[in-house]
Each structure stands twice: as structure tokens, then as C-alpha cells.
Amino acid sequence: MSEKIYDVPAEWASRAFVDDAKYRQMYERSVTDPTGFWAEHAKRVDWIKAPTKIDNWSFAPGNVSIKWFEDGVLNAAYNCIDRHLDKRGDQVAIIWEGDDPSQSRSITYRELHDEVCKFANILRNRNVGKGDRVTIYLPMIPEAAFAMLACARIGAIHSVVFAGFSPDSLAGRINDCNSKIVITADEGLRGGRKVPLKANVDAALKKCEGVDWVMVVKRTGAAVEMDDVRDFWYHEAAEVVTTECPVEHMHAEDPLFILYTSGSTGQPKGVLHTTGGYLVFASMTHQYVFDYHDGDIYWCTADVGWVTGHSYILYGPLANGATTLMFEGVPNYPTNSRFWEVIDKHKVNIFYTAPTAIRALMQAGDEPVKKTSRKSLRLLGSVGEPINPEAWEWYHRVVGEDRCPIVDTWWQTETGGILITPLPGATKLKPGSATRPFFGVVPEILDPEGNVLEGECTGNLCLARSWPGQMRTVYGDHARFEQTYFSAYKGKYFTGDGCRRDTDGFYWITGRVDDVINVSGHRMGTAEVESSLVAHPKVSEAAVVGYPHDIKGQGIYAYVTLMAGEEPTEELRKELVAWVRKDIGPIASPDLIQFAPGLPKTRSGKIMRRILRKIAEDEPSSLGDTSTLADPAVVDDLVEHRQNKH
Ligand code: WT7
């Protein structure tokens, strides 16, 4: 690992909200007097009734319960829109940049207010109200923001499903939370390619009983089938509603949204976030981590289908009265200069993207970057997976011209907001390290026996205390919440990540230590891909592991045992890739499939994944002990026919 250190530039230390001394003082207060600290910082949002009870949580086995600001009353949409109207009604809230570079749109806070109120009234007219679940399956268009904020305004719980997921994946998520309405578009548009969203919804709804309404936004104008009773057009419904829509009064612990994420076992789980703590934490981290000042133009390249889009395109920035850019397209369309051209076009100051995008653009060389100006840029950010020092250095040197600090932000869908990160005016940078904890965050590194390690060490990353943005439960399954996050280490939240702490107390996330893989910053459960593969009629067994991939970070490596009599052909390999793509979505496509006559199992029948990981990593000489296998000979065949041989 690189030990290069980048000191805080002097002008950053003086202009930023927080310098090193202030970080240390605020951090100290946040952990010695969390109640006082969070009581003070809760004031950053407007409350209808201010909270008097600040923190009330327990990580105790069998009794996990998390509440923040519990007697407070507020509305998230009011905080993201209405409270800004007096001061910045005419300021741009959302800059939308289309997939096609000739399309963009600016939406002021006042326009956002009117659009969200209309949207909310359309929902209210269809009897959607407080506590109802609304599934949103939209591309990156302004209506996705209107839809989410409209739900927040009327107290409905949104569940955004990434528009790259298949009809089956969508159906599972609609059914799990019993949505009564689905909001979609005729088609999506990404990288010049069309995605048949309405047709996907139609296919999904064949498996969903409870959906009364489908609202369809016109994006491309493609002809789509409309059910006379169930389906209606957004643009038509919007003509007959007003721009007045009183906000619902929400308790701090009323749910704001559900977001499905993959785990090491079973189906994706509905991560539930509530209103008060989430909003305080998303807005506070957005301000401090990105050092957001009035007038800055801020761009996070994520999709609203992921938590990064929720916290750092929408809720955090808008709660702060920011100008936030929403991008429909992809980094390499029409050319590899697209990101940098968008930065120049809209004079972006703060840019937040993922290592996988940085690596892909790095491969295209410096030229597409250097032909753009980027002089508006002041700060760069990274999120989604560990960033390798080479990519970090390139991002810093070529994209940021050695003048922009990089904030490498570690967090998870479950954490609601950033937990480990540099603050640009306070923290020296080490390429590849997420550096230090944010205020109120107490990381601990534990060995497998549960001992808390001190000083420089490597182990499993836990959090010893709650923070306001923490998820509250798995929707409809609190036992699974406790089991997943609080059973490995008693009294602590286990993140699923491995981590090293260095002599400076800096944290280096080493990646997942469970059966979750991180493909281009997207989380995939190996179990999900396996169950998709074994559902194919020619497959008898499957085991899936991750392996290092130059651009994606991790690729998906599948070992497949066929039914007796089936031939392992190239055609079948392609068929299986297409099968998983269709079943789950393109992000789950296996990169490599190895046909395996047998899988390495213990005598009790447990697949030894450790061995499969080593073979997939092309490290057959470090398989370790194979003597406990029922049939050690299967390993020789797997090694010989490995797909990732260098
Ligand atoms: C997992 C969470 C949080 C938004 C995007 C992903 C990995 C995320 C970093 C980082 C090293 C990172 C972890 C984590 N991860 N950011 N800066 N450095 N690893 O959210 O889909 O919930 O995935 O992504 O492994 O557990 P997610």
C-alpha cells in the first residue's frame, strides 16, 4: 500500500468549515457528550416540534432498538424545499443533464416546490398517504426527484428500485413491501440505449397482486401499452392538480424510505431509514465532507436507485439548499470526455464519483481529460469500494491537476450517510485510505474471537455506537436485522467489511469479509446469483465467488455443475450469462463461468469457498489445507480448468 501523504493545502485549512484542530475538538465532544452534540446539530433542520429526547438506542442481543430525536416532528420535503423559498426561491436546486449532451434543464427551488406539490397531489388523489409504500422505477430524470420528495411530503414511504433491475427483481421488491402504486417511465435512456421500463413493470406486475396504480412518465415517447384501469400518464394527471400541497407532520422515527440491498444470504433485504436522524445526518455529512458553501455547484454521479443517490444527490444537498446536478447518462457516452465536459458546461466545483468509473476512464488515457478545462473543480470524492492507489493518484493528478483534495468516503446503504472520510480542510490524505471517523462514529476492529484490537491492527470493522443515520430495521423482519448486523459481535454493529488501522489511526477498508461481492461499486450477494443459476434446467449446482477485476473492482466468477448428460458448451455458457442477466439484471451477469464436474465440499457437504476464491484469483499454489475435503481430487480438475489463468 502506498504510504504517500498529501498534506492539507493551507488555503483549504483556512477556508473550510473545519480544520484539524476543530475536527479533533468536535470529534471529542461528539463521543464524550453525544447527547449534547446531537441536540445541537439537530438544529440544522427545521422542526415542526423540536426534539427533547435525543438518543435512545440499544445494540443488546435480542433487544436491538434505535431511536433518534424521537419526540421531534418534521417533514423532510419541507426541509429540502419550502424552508429555502424565502431566501433562494430563484436559485437553481437541480441541474438536470440528459443522456444526450444537447438536453439539460435547470429547476429552481420555487419550480421544485410546484412540481413536487403537483406530484404529491396526484398521489393523494389516488389515496396514497402516510405510511403507504410507493415503488419508484425511474431513470435519472427530474421526475425521480419529484416522486421521492412527493412521497416525503405526504408521508408515504418510497422504495426506489434501480432501473437496471429485471422484472423479477422488481416484482420481488414490490411484493416484499406491498406497494400499492408503481411509478415508472415509458422508457429509460442511457448511453444512447433504450430500456423498456414500462414493459418491465407490466411483466413484473403479473406477479404482484396488490398494485392499484401505475403512473407513467413520458421520457422517450415510445408507444407503450396502457391498462385502462390501472395505468395513467403523469403529464395528464399533472394538468388537473394544484401547486398547493400541505406537508404531512412526521415523527422523527416515521419511515422515510426503504431501499433493497443484497446480503450474504437470501433475498435482498429492505433497509428502512426514518425521517429525523437520517435527514440530520445526510445534510450534516454533505456539508462537512464536501465542505459545501452557498453557491457551490455540486455533482454526484450516482443513480437515485442506490443509497448514494438518496443521501448525496437528493436529501443531503437539498436540505442544505445546494445546487445539485443529476445526470442521466454514463461516463463514456458520447465520448470518454463526457464527465469533464459536463463539469465545464455547468461549472461544477465538487465532483463525487466511484472508483470503477475512475479506472475505466483512466484506461482511456489522459487525452480525453486534458482537452477539457475543469478549472471550476475544487474538490473530488470517491465512494463505493476501496480505491486503489494508482486510480487515486490519477484522479488527483490528471483530473484534479494536483489542486483538489480527494475525499474517499466509506459508508453503506445501512449507514445512511458517510462514516469514515477525510474532511478536506482537516485531514491529510493517504491514497487508498478512507482516513478518520466522522463525528459521533466509533469504529472498532475486532478479531474473529470478538476481541477489540488496539493500535495498529487488521480485523473486522464494527461500530460501537449508533449514529443518527443508521438503518432502523429490515422492513418487516426485525429478527433478520438483529441476526445480520448484531449477532457476530455482541453489542456492536458489524459492517461486513475487513479493515486495517495504521499507526496514525487511519482506517483502510480492505473489502467485504462475507459472501457479498462488490461489482463496480454495486453490491451483489453470491447466494442470489447462485439461486438464479440453479434455477436453470440444465444446472444442478452452482457456487459463486468474487475475483479481482481491473475495472469493476470485483468480477463474478461462477462454478457450475451441470445435470447428468448435459454438455458444457460455449453456447450453454452464453445462455447461462443471459439467463442471470434476465433473471436479476445486467449488474449480476457472471464474468467467468467454469463448468465444474464437482465442487470442493467437506464431508458434511459444505462448499469450501475459500478454495474456490483462491482458484478464481488464479492462486492455485495457496489453496491451504484441502485434507478435510470429501474428495480432494475435485480440486485438481478445478485448478486445471480455471478461467482466470494469467
Ligand atoms: C459496501 C457498501 C455507500 C454507498 C455505496 C455503496 C464498500 C463503500 C467504500 C470506500 C472502501 C467502500 C464497502 C461497504 N464501500 N464505500 N470508500 N472504501 N469500501 O453502498 O451498496 O451499501 O455497499 O461498499 O464494502 O460495506 P452499498
Q: What is the pLDDT of residues 332-357, one digit of tens each?
A: 999 999 999 999 999 999 999 999 99
- Which domain CATH number covers 592? 3.30.300.30
Whether residue 448 sits in one domain with residue 541: no
Q: Which of 88-102, 259-273, 456-470 has the lowest mean pLDDT?
A: 259-273
**Residue 581 counted as an annotated binding residue:** yes
How far is Cα 404 from Cα 393, in angstroms, rounded to an integer? 12
Q: How far is the CA of 413 from the centre of ligand 1 (A)?
A: 8
How far is Cα 210 from Cα 451, in angstroms, rounded to an integer? 48
Which of 500, 531, 551 terminates a domain? The answer is: 500
- The mean pLDDT of 616-636, rounded to a whole number, is 90
**Residue 385 counted as an annotated binding residue:** yes
- Name every residue whose Cβ is closer than 8 Å to that of residue 275 and which is 6 or more positions away in sequence: 74, 75, 76, 152, 250, 251, 252, 253, 254, 255, 256
pLDDT of residue 628: 86
Whether residue 435 sits in one domain with residue 561: no
**Residue 381 counted as an annotated binding residue:** no
Site to substitute for ligand 1 among 315, 509, 512, 522, most atoms within 8 A of C-beta: 509
Residue 2 or residue 461, greater confidence: 461
Whether residue 191 sits in one domain with residue 59: yes
**Residue 505 counted as an annotated binding residue:** no
- Residue 604 pLDDT exceeds 90: no
Q: How far is the CA of 491 from the centre of ligand 1 (A)?
A: 22
pLDDT of residue 626: 86
Helices (H), 409-538: 478-486, 526-534
**Residue 193 counted as an annotated binding residue:** yes
406-409/443-446 β-pairing = unpaired
Whether residue 581 sits in one domain with residue 437: no
Classify residue 313: in a domain, yes or no.
yes
Rounded to the nearest integer, the mean pLDDT of the chain is 97
Whether residue 269 sits in one domain with residue 132: yes
Whether residue 181 sits in one domain with residue 52: yes
> How many CA atoms within 13 Å lie on the side-chain side of 436?
19
**Residue 413 counted as an annotated binding residue:** yes
- Residue 1 pLDDT exceeds 60: no
pLDDT of residue 138: 98
**Residue 36 counted as an annotated binding residue:** no
β-bridge partners, 509: 499
The vertex-89 CA angle with 85 and 90, nearest 5°, equals 175
Classify residue 173: in a domain, yes or no.
yes
Name the closest-CA residue to atom 11, ligand 1: 386
Whether residue 392 sits in one domain with residue 282: yes
- Residue 484 pLDDT exceeds 90: yes
**Residue 465 counted as an annotated binding residue:** no
Whether residue 310 sits in one domain with residue 219: yes
**Residue 585 counted as an annotated binding residue:** no
pLDDT of residue 265: 84
How far is Cα 625 from Cα 622, in angstroms, rounded to an integer? 9
Q: How far is the CA of 425 from the centre of ligand 1 (A)?
A: 23
Q: How far is the CA of 354 from the centre of ligand 1 (A)?
A: 10
In the block, cell 396502457 appears at 226
How far is Cα 35 from Cα 107, in angstroms, rounded to an integer? 38
How far is Cα 504 from Cα 361, in angstroms, rounded to an integer? 32
Name the closest-CA residue to atom 10, ligand 1: 410
- Residue 3 pLDDT exceeds 90: no
Classify residue 55: in a domain, yes or no.
yes
Cβ < 6 Å from ligand 1: which residues?
A: 261, 307-308, 383-386, 408-413, 434, 495-497, 509, 511-512, 518, 521, 523
pLDDT (tens digit per residue) in 410-434 = 999 999 999 999 999 999 999 999 9
ipTM of this complex > 0.90? yes
> Residue 383 class from Cβ within 10 Å (0-12 exposed, 13-18 middle, 19+ buried)?
buried
- The mean pLDDT of 388-411, rounded to a whole number, is 98
Report the percentage of the chain scoring pLDDT > 90.
96
pLDDT of residue 305: 97
β-bridge partners, 457: 501
Name the closest-CA residue to atom 18, ligand 1: 386
**Residue 497 counted as an annotated binding residue:** yes
Name the closest-CA residue to atom 16, ligand 1: 384
Classify residue 5: in a domain, yes or no.
no
User: Letter for the amino acid at 97?
Assistant: E
Whether residue 165 sits in one domain with residue 212: yes
- Residue 264 pLDDT exceeds 90: no
Name the closest-CA residue to atom 17, ligand 1: 410
pLDDT (tens digit per residue) in 557-575 = 999 999 999 999 999 999 9
Nearest atom of ligand 1 to the alpha carbon of 262:
21
Q: How far is the CA of 410 from the centre of ligand 1 (A)?
A: 6
Nearest atom of ligand 1 to the alpha carbon of 512:
25
How far is Cα 381 from Cα 351, in angstroms, rounded to an integer? 6
In the block, cell 463525487 appears at 352
pLDDT (tens digit per residue) in 289-335 = 999 999 999 999 999 999 999 999 999 999 999 999 999 999 999 99
Classify residue 488: in a domain, yes or no.
no
In this structure, the chain runs to a length of: 646
Classify residue 144: in a domain, yes or no.
yes
Angle between helices 633-640 and 609-616 (to 10 degrees): 20
Nearest atom of ligand 1 to the alpha carbon of 522:
21
Whether residue 422 sits in one domain with residue 290: yes
Nearest atom of ligand 1 to the alpha carbon of 511:
25
Classify residue 548: in a domain, yes or no.
yes
pLDDT of residue 311: 99
- Which domain CATH number covers 447? 3.40.50.12780
Three-state secondary structure call for residue 539 = strand
Query: What total number of domains does the chain contain?
Result: 2
Q: Is the peptide bond before 334 cis (omega within 30 degrees of 0)?
A: yes
Phi, psi (rounded to 5 degrees) for 290: -95, 5
Classify residue 505: in a domain, yes or no.
no
Nearest atom of ligand 1 to the alpha carbon of 418:
3
pLDDT of residue 382: 98
Neighbours of 61 (CB within 10 A): 11
pLDDT (tens digit per residue) in 527-547 = 999 999 999 999 999 999 999
Whether residue 529 sits in one domain with residue 397: no
Phi, psi (rounded to 5 degrees) for 322: -85, 170
Q: How far is the CA of 168 from the centre of ligand 1 (A)?
A: 25
Q: CA nearest 439: which of 32, 7, 66?
A: 32
> How many CA atoms within 13 Å lie on the side-chain side of 534?
11
pLDDT of residue 373: 98
Report the percentage of the chain scoring pLDDT > 70.
100
- Residue 118 pLDDT exceeds 60: yes
β-bridge partners, 185: 217
pLDDT of residue 624: 86
Whether residue 327 sits in one domain with residue 382: yes
Which of 500, 532, 563 terminates a domain? The answer is: 500
Confidence of residue 456 (pLDDT cuts 50, 70, 90): very high
Nearest atom of ligand 1 to the alpha carbon of 409:
17
Name the closest-CA residue to atom 2, ligand 1: 412
Site to substitute for ligand 1 among 260, 383, 395, most atoms within 8 A of C-beta: 383
Domain hosting residue 404, numbered range: 10-482+494-500
Q: How far is the CA of 511 from the centre of ligand 1 (A)?
A: 8
In the block, cell 410546484 appears at 114
- The mean pLDDT of 34-48, rounded to a whole number, is 98
How far is Cα 199 from Cα 216, in angstroms, rounded to an integer? 11
Name the closest-CA residue to atom 5, ligand 1: 384
Confidence of residue 266 (pLDDT cuts 50, 70, 90): confident
User: Letter for the amino acid at 646?
Assistant: H
